Amino acid sequence: RIRAHDDHFETSIDQKKVHDYKYRLPLDSIRFLEVQGDCTLSGVHWGGQYFQLPFECGFPKGNFASGERLYLSGTPKDNFSFNLLSRNGDILFHFNPRFNEKKIVRNSCKNGMWENEEREGAFPFKKNIGFDLVFHNQPYAMQIYFDGQRILTFAHRCSDPKRDYVAVRVEGNLEIVALEFDTSHK
């Protein structure tokens, strides 16, 4: 991944930072990207958007199917939440890093009622330090990866995890750098 910042490019491989390169030209003058050498290029995303929070959107194919992955890259300023929603607006998966508690709370909220919280596990987040999260929807649980390392597993609390997740909502004090859906992994 090559990420453009105010004064440099940050390069990473397999979600691990490799090097920073200071700009030699103004960023807005760059029009082409050339890749050479022995590598496999899995995709190119040029550009992006600024995400206003709260941000909510549906999944490209209508739902977040089993085997698919969702990538969230961002910089947390303080607490934030990532939610997977059902058709009726229930929160089927709530992922909430809480800096004041140094815990990642996971839960679900159905018919306005919160269920049992899960709080165990490491807290790898740091304020103002970027991260890459991967949410991998597997048949029996959601696997969560932080900067390439699996940190949590959340057992599905819905009847059909292949079809029930229809939207994502992100809110709180977070700068979203990228939100990407990968439907190629089945």
CA–CA dist 153, 143 (Å, integer) = 5
What ranges in the chain are assigned the alpha helix state H? Answer: none
Which domains, ranges and CATH numbers included, belong to the chain?
1-35 (no CATH), 55-182 (2.60.120.200)
Sheet (strand 2-4) strand order = 2-4, 8-13, 16-22
Give the pLDDT means over successive 10-residue stretches in the chain (186 positions): 79 75 83 78 63 93 94 94 98 99 98 98 94 96 96 97 96 92 72
Whole-number pLDDT of residue 134: 97
pLDDT of residue 177: 84
Q: Report the chain's terminal Cα–Cα distance, integer Å.
A: 23
Q: Quick one: pLDDT at residue 45?
A: 61
